């Protein structure tokens, strides 16, 4: 009886022990304690990233948001009991100093800022790890492998976050992430030295508003073929940067534009600080407005991040930062002081207004108006800011090719040809225009018209700094005397032609003493005492039934005392009183 009792007691103790171990292995998912990285990609654009990496619409990026708590609790299937951990040293993955850890996540969690973690074996990572401290990981030629799947949220194997935090990785292979291998997020910095990335679905490295420094050779293979991606996810305000000090390559690909890829849908500010060469190395970085960055090792190209593609390119400091398929969208989307370059002939379906300081370089392409109508503003381009328009052909406007509108408009027009614009080539409507090397082919009315429309109170000023080539010289420059009624309301000056104005207001433009253009620069003096003007342009004149007399511009040069046909005034044949 005693023996049975003892055996029962032993069995009860063993059963209780088994229940304790079972409870330890089935506790709640430790992922609830990890820091979460939220990602900018939706399910839809995640698929688009994988499929569209050869296009300008690759939109993959991750957006990390750090929360309090440990970096990552060790998953249950890697955690060992204290008793087993003490004796299973040969199976440990990493160590800090003389202390060994069963998993890389445990080592990262235990590390203090500035620590070095050394891998002892290949490390399997079962959940993404977010690091918010300074760390070094020496792979010692081992690998760090993702064993998890999924594409929602952050799925990067190692993410460093925070402006003061640096993650250095050397002598390691990083593989099998369902998204990125490593992420430098929101000011975080990643330093790579002799690192290989294999089969990471989106790319090897995501520089998401952080910094990447390549100190030793980096190679990427598998995945979608993109090596390093620069992006700015949601709520990321810092710009991504890359400093290249050693060779970086996508194995098996000759497409150098995919070695370093810039997501232009998110990264708008791209300049010579975006990608730089590390000083004291054999790496150089050249910039070209024709194709993009050209990163070279000993003079041989190793990476060439390409500029975005489109019919209109937007450049800042010579670097293409955006691309659009319509001119209206490009003007709207460009920042002030940008340069727009037109890549092909474009049909303009409605008038376009430019209200910010820009340079529009047509690159010798043609803008053709395809719309009709003469009500309101129908000019192809209307400027009301400091704008340069150059190297372009403007044709088929139902009114004017360019309108320089209002006192804020200061527009340079250089090397522009105007063809078949119904009212004229250029209307200066209370603004200032400087023209050089312009040509009027078959504009049906005039070349340059100086006017002052409704509610315009500023003068219309024309400066000629280069040649005007007019098919019909008599129509080259025209002043609307019904709107410009005094000397102060318009000016014509030139550094290219000799300009003179006679007592009747006739402006003559000469080149080398030869008359090139003649135009009326202003209206007559104001009529007083109901007498004819002391100056007019010689007719032809018209008289209405009341005896009021009008010059050929429609200006009333004599007002009859009363509305009687018999009291009309007959102008002398000379046309000048």
H or E segment at 4?
Answer: helix 2-25
Give the C-alpha distances (Å, rounded to integers) separating 316 from 58, 270, 323, 519.
Answer: 22, 8, 12, 41
19 lies in some domain: no
Structural domain ending residue among the three candidates 237, 268, 303: 303
| Total count of domains within the chain | 3
Q: Mean pLDDT of all residues in the chain?
A: 79
Look up residue 26 and give its two tokens.
């089935």
Q: What is the DSSP letter of 278?
A: P
Band (238; pLDDT cuts 50, 70, 90): very high
Residue whose token pair is 């990125």: 180
Residue 340 CA to residue 356 CA, distance in Å, equals 12
Strand ranges (E), 87-155: 94-96, 99-101, 115-119, 123-125, 129-131, 135-146
Q: What is the pLDDT of residues 215-234, one digit of tens each?
A: 999 999 998 889 999 999 98
70 & 58 share domain: yes
CB atoms within 10 A of CB 232: 24
- For β-strands 477-479 and 166-175, DSSP reports them as unpaired
430 & 496 share domain: yes
Residue 549 CA to residue 533 CA, distance in Å, equals 10
Sheet with 158-161, strands from edge to edge, namely: 129-131, 158-161, 180-185, 203-208, 228-231, 260-262
475 & 541 share domain: no
Query: So what's the pLDDT on residue 77?
Result: 28
Residues in Cβ contact with 365 at an 8 Å cutoff, skipping those fewer than 6 apart: 342, 343, 344, 345, 346, 392, 393
Question: Is 552's pLDDT higher than 50?
Answer: yes
Residue pair 227/262 in contact by the 8 Å Cβ criterion: no
Total residue count of the chain as it appears in this document: 577
Band (560; pLDDT cuts 50, 70, 90): low
12 lies in some domain: no
Band (6; pLDDT cuts 50, 70, 90): very low
Helix (H, G, I), strand (E, B) or coil at 18: helix
Closest by CA position to 159, among listed 105, 238, 216: 105
Query: So what's the pLDDT on residue 562?
Result: 55
Query: So what's the pLDDT on residue 568?
Result: 39
460 & 323 share domain: yes
330 & 297 share domain: no
Identify the domain containing residue 350 by its residue range.
317-520
65 & 78 share domain: yes
Residue pair 94/120 in contact by the 8 Å Cβ criterion: yes
530 & 433 share domain: no
Residue 465 CA to residue 436 CA, distance in Å, equals 5
Closest by CA position to 399, among listed 380, 418, 419, 417: 380
Q: Give the predicted TM-score (pTM) of the model.
A: 0.61
């Amino acid at each position: 009886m005693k023996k049975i009792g003892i055996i029962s007691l032993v069995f009860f103790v063993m059963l209780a022990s088994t229940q304790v171990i079972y409870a330890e292995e089935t506790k709640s998912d430790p992922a609830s304690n990890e820091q979460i990285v939220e990602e900018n990609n939706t399910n839809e654009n995640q698929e688009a990233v994988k499929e569209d990496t050869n296009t300008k619409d690759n939109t993959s990026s991750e957006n990390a948001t750090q929360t309090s708590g440990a970096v990552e609790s060790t998953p249950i299937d890697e955690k060992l009991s204290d008793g087993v951990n003490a004796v299973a040293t040969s199976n440990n993955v990493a160590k800090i100093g003389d202390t060994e850890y069963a998993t890389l996540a445990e080592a990262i969690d235990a590390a203090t800022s500035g620590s070095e973690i050394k891998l002892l074996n290949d490390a399997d990572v079962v959940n993404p790890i977010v690091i918010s401290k300074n760390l070094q990981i020496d792979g010692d030629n081992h690998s760090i492998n993702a064993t998890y799947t999924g594409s929602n949220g952050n799925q990067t194997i190692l993410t460093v976050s925070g402006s003061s935090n640096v993650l250095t990785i050397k002598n390691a292979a990083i593989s099998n992430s369902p998204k990125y291998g490593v992420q430098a997020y929101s000011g975080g910095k990643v330093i790579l030295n002799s690192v290989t990335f294999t089969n990471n679905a989106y790319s090897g490295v995501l520089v998401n508003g952080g910094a990447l420094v390549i100190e030793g050779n980096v190679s990427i293979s598998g995945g979608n073929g993109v090596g390093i991606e620069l992006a700015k996810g949601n709520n990321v305000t810092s710009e991504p940067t890359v400093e290249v000090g050693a060779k970086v390559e996508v194995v098996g690909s000759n497409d150098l534009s995919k070695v370093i890829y810039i997501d232009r849908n998110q990264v708008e500010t791209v300049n010579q600080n975006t990608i730089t060469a590390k000083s004291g190395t054999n790496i150089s970085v050249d910039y070209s407005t024709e194709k993009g960055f050209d990163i070279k090792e000993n003079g041989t190209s190793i990476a060439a991040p390409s500029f975005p593609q489109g019919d209109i390119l937007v450049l800042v400091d010579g670097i293409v930062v955006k691309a659009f398929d319509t001119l209206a969208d490009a003007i709207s989307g460009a920042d002030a002081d940008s340069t727009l370059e037109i890549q092909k002939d474009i049909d303009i379906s409605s008038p376009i207004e430019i209200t910010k300081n820009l340079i529009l370089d047509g690159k010798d392409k043609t803008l053709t108006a395809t719309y009709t109508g003469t009500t309101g503003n129908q000019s192809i381009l209307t400027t009301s800011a400091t704008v340069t328009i150059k190297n372009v052909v403007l044709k088929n406007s139902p009114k004017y090719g360019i309108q320089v509108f209002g006192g804020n408009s200061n527009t340079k027009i250089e090397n522009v040809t105007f063809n078949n614009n119904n009212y004229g080539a250029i209307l200066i409507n209370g603004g200032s225009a400087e023209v050089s090397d312009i040509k009027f082919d078959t504009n049906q009315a005039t070349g340059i018209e100086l006017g002052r429309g409704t509610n315009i109170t500023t003068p219309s000023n024309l400066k000629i700094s280069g040649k005007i080539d007019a098919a019909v010289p008599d129509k080259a420059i025209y002043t609307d005397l019904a709107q410009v009624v005094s000397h102060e309301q318009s000016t014509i000056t030139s550094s290219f032609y000799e300009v003179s104005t006679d007592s009747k207001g006739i402006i003559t433009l000469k080149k080398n003493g030869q008359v090139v253009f003649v135009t009326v620069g202003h209206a007559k003096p104001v009529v007083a005492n109901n007498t004819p003007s002391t100056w007019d342009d010689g007719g032809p004149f018209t008289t209405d039934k009341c005896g009021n007399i009008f010059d050929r511009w429609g200006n009333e040069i004599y007002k009859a005392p009363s509305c009687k046909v018999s009291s009309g005034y007959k102008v002398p044949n000379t046309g000048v009183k």
